[in-house]
Amino acid sequence: MIVDGGKFDWANGNFPGFTEPDASYHGLKYAEALGPMAYILKARVQLLRDLGPALSPFNSFLFLQGLETLPLRMERHSENALRVANFLMDHPNVRWVSYPGLSNHPSHELAKKYHRGGYGAILGFGVHGGLEAGRKLIDKVKLFSLVANVGDAKSLIIHPASTTHSQLTTEERELTGVTDDFIRLSVGLESIDDILADLDQALKSAAEGTTSETTGPPEELEREAAPAAESY
């Protein structure tokens, strides 16, 4: 799926594929001949021809069906994610929360400037108990699905330190921003009451029998310095 606004300057000297003649298309210079339509038509008449990434009619229909309700779904994703972030900020088993909709987030002002209708579905937080509690937490959730991808209609969870980044050392993980206590969520469209209830029971279960962690949250996200989150 390509969405092209037609406002990029392809003739700025950095894209010879748009400014030099295309021998396979009668010497056409896309930027000169097509102006704002240069990118999308090049994709259609040249790249589609050469690479062949054409959808079947049914797959195209499914994409269009999904796009028709995308704005409504994103509103629900964002609304649920903000509620989750607020909930986690006040949870005794959570050390820190990172979500651009929270006023303590270092990019909050930029998020307010560029986002419309919410701040998206992705957030991260640190669980008390570090690596051990993180492993327990992802095993205790019932509604959330343990998968590495994001952006699904259903809620997703992962503990990178014990899954996707487990082959790295602690020092290597921390260089990438993956602390032992870090949990990533992709908040879905389910009832917010069900989402919060699942996180609450999993956090309480993960806290049982775990020891204090040695890794800390990013300094800019320390709970003590975090003002109340704002709504949108």
CA dihedral 53, 57, 61, 62 (to 10 degrees): -60
Is position 214 within any domain?
yes
The count of structural domains within the chain is 2
pLDDT tens digits along 104-131: 999 999 999 999 889 999 999 999 999 9
Same domain, 101 and 216: yes
Same domain, 87 and 163: yes
Residues of the chain where predicted confidence (pLDDT) is lower than 70: 209-232
* Distance, CA of 11 to CA of 17 (rounded, Å): 10
Phi, psi of 201 (to 5 degrees): -65, -35
Q: What CATH code is carried by the domain that includes residue 148? A: 3.90.1150.10
Same domain, 37 and 107: no
Domain that includes residue 168, residue range: 71-225
pLDDT tens digits along 189-213: 999 999 999 999 999 999 886 655 5
Same domain, 45 and 77: no
Going by C-alpha positions, the residue among 158, 215, 190, 198 that lies closest to residue 79 is 190
